[in-house]
Amino acid sequence: MTRPAVRGAGPVAVAAVATAGTAARLVQIHAAIRPPGTDTALTGLPDAIASTVLDRIRAAFVGSGLNWPRPGVLLEVTPPQPAADSGLDVAFAVAILAVTGQISRPPLAGRAFVGELDLDGRLRPLPDTLERVRVAAQAGFTHVVVPAANLTDLGAVDATTVGAAATLHRLVDGLRGRLALQPDPAGQPPDWPDLDMADLPAAHPGRRILTIAAAGGHHLAMFGPQSAATMLARRLLGLLPDLDTATAAEVEQLYRAAEQPRDDATVRVRPPWQAPHPNISIAALIGSPRRPGAVSLAHGGVLFCDDAGALPATAAGALRTMLDERRVTLDPGRIVYPARIQLVLASTGCPQTPDCTCAPGGHRRYLTRLFPLLDRIDIQVSLPSAMPDRTGLQPEMASAQLAQRVAGARAVAAARWGGPGCTNAEATAEALQASLAGAATQPFDLLTDRVTASALSTRGAAGVLRLAWTIADLAEHRHPTSDDVAEAIRLRTRPDFGRR
């Protein structure tokens, strides 16, 4: 294989340990930038396996808020492997990160990487990790990085330092020197996305969008750059309150049924996060009689669908039904999984991004399958293409402080709708009408005009009212004001699908 340097970035090699049957051996993952206009490719594994491996790693990148390379990267396993080995996933990811400049290369020296990646970026434990670490130690590697869940299996291995990470995001932080890769296995950090709102400047509209979405429990659709949408989605969980006792018990039961127990005490009380790949099968999305799918594993938390325009029509239809019923019913009616989720969609709005050559109406055709689903989503926004400059800005309010505002607004909404856990997003049209009895009508004139002009459907108008209540709750208004309603209309109707 020829590994030419492109854009001044030379090839990299990352050490890993592969297994075949009971035998383990050291392998190298080579990576080089491919020419513009080409996709990421993988050689050294059987062709039928390579595309599946790349799909899994790409999903982990997206779920971790990392940039998938454009142009692509050429990956090669040497010596070639005759069968699938998910334990090479982490090494593939590190090779991509290094060759694209997302991490520096010095941390690679003397290190080997072991681990499988889940679709949301978690490092999944492997049953043969101990043998892989032994082989790396015998080959002279002084550091081996493994999934955090495998730490208790290893102990001391021939004086080799064993580092660990629970997620790809935390591994990147460790390789960048921002986080130790030798955590205490008894006190593992939570495995949900935990990026902080303090990183967003005050001028970024995402701060306001996420605060409103969290305070009202509103579903959210974001249209714009993929990296911007993922970056925001990963910050939403930090604003949400802990699960109540009943929901936490349901979530734990669901994860055990899926053979993915959330054993960490801290993780068990936090809302779950699921980020399925756009090509996910219907069975993996909604579940089967044997085990719950991604939708139910997000119960009480967030289901993030990146590149939502690429979802199959059957998947979009299943999500629409789930949003209406807040549960998954299978076989028929004998299997019921709870699915009270907050859905977050992200889409560039174009199948050819970033090199769009769509004919007029191309964007609309691409998103047609999402239109019935979007009717259920209260917040629909277009994102800026660039992060506002932070120069001269003071540190902004962090997630913990914003979460307090969110909790206060949720408490007000729960009192209005009649019970703990009730959110504005779940209010029925009848309840909305009753809640405004005695309120002045003038603040709602703009909404009435939109409905009269057929610019908003009846369902859309109800969504605006739900948002207006959330905005009013955050501002501590007794009833929504004209400004609250106007902002709610903007949040509901911003994207322009017909621009091309």
DSSP per position, 380-427: EEEPPSSPPP-TTPPPPPPHHHHHHHHHHHHHHHHHHHTSTT--GGG-
Which pLDDT score, from 0 to 100, does residue 65 have? Answer: 76
CATH architecture of 12-187: 2-Layer Sandwich (3.30)
Strands 342-347 and 220-223: parallel
Angle between helices 458-475 and 205-216 (to 10 degrees): 100
Nearest Cα to Cα of residue 67 among 58, 54, 55: 58
Tokens 């959110």 identify what position?
A: 423
Compute the distance between CA of residue 198 and CA of residue 235 in angstroms, rounded to an integer. 10
Which pLDDT score, from 0 to 100, does residue 365 have? Answer: 64
Compute the distance between CA of residue 22 and CA of residue 131 in angstroms, rounded to an integer. 9
Compute the distance between CA of residue 418 and CA of residue 422 in angstroms, rounded to an integer. 7
CA dihedral over 349, 350, 356, 360, signed as positive or negative:
negative
Give the pair of three-digit tokens for residue 415: 């009192």
Compute the distance between CA of residue 104 and CA of residue 98 in angstroms, rounded to an integer. 6
Q: 319: how many CB neighbours lie within 10 A of its CB?
A: 26
**What are the two backbone dihedrals, phi and then psi, of residue 201, each rounded to the nearest 5 degrees?**
-65, 160
- Characterize 175-199 residue by residue with b for buried, 16 or more Cβ atoms within 10 angstroms of its Cβ, and e for exposed: beeeeebebeeeebbbbbbbbebbe
Q: In which residue ranges of the chain is CATH 3.30.230.10 found?
A: 12-187
Compute the distance between CA of residue 232 and CA of residue 220 in angstroms, rounded to an integer. 11
Residue 208 CA to chain centroid, in angstroms?
19
Which pLDDT score, from 0 to 100, does residue 211 have? Answer: 96
Helix (H) or strand (E) run with residue 283 in it: helix 282-286
- Computed over its alpha carbons, how large is the radius of gyration of the chain? 24
* pTM of the shown model: 0.64
Q: SS3 for 345?
A: strand
Q: In which residue ranges of the chain is CATH 3.40.50.300 found?
A: 197-382
The series of mean pLDDT values per 10 residues for the chain, 500 residues long, is 43 90 85 91 88 87 83 93 87 94 82 88 84 89 87 66 85 80 47 67 86 97 84 90 90 85 72 83 84 92 87 86 91 86 86 53 65 88 68 64 94 89 91 90 92 89 96 96 96 59
CATH architecture of 197-382: 3-Layer(aba) Sandwich (3.40)
Quickly list H helices, 176-239: 205-216, 226-236
Q: How far is CA 216 from CA 48, 237, 434, 472, in A?
A: 45, 13, 18, 11
Which pLDDT score, from 0 to 100, does residue 189 have? Answer: 40
* In contact, 240 and 211? CB cutoff 8 Å: no
Compute the distance between CA of residue 36 and CA of residue 355 in angstroms, rounded to an integer. 11
State the Cα angle at 291 between 126 and 53, rounded to 5°. 45
Which pLDDT score, from 0 to 100, does residue 393 have? Answer: 45
Q: How far is CA 306 from CA 100, 102, 216, 301, 492, in A?
A: 22, 21, 22, 16, 20
Give the pair of three-digit tokens for residue 92: 């593939």
Q: State the virtual CA torsion across 302, 308, 313, 318 in degrees, nearest 10.
A: 0
Amino acid in position 411 = A
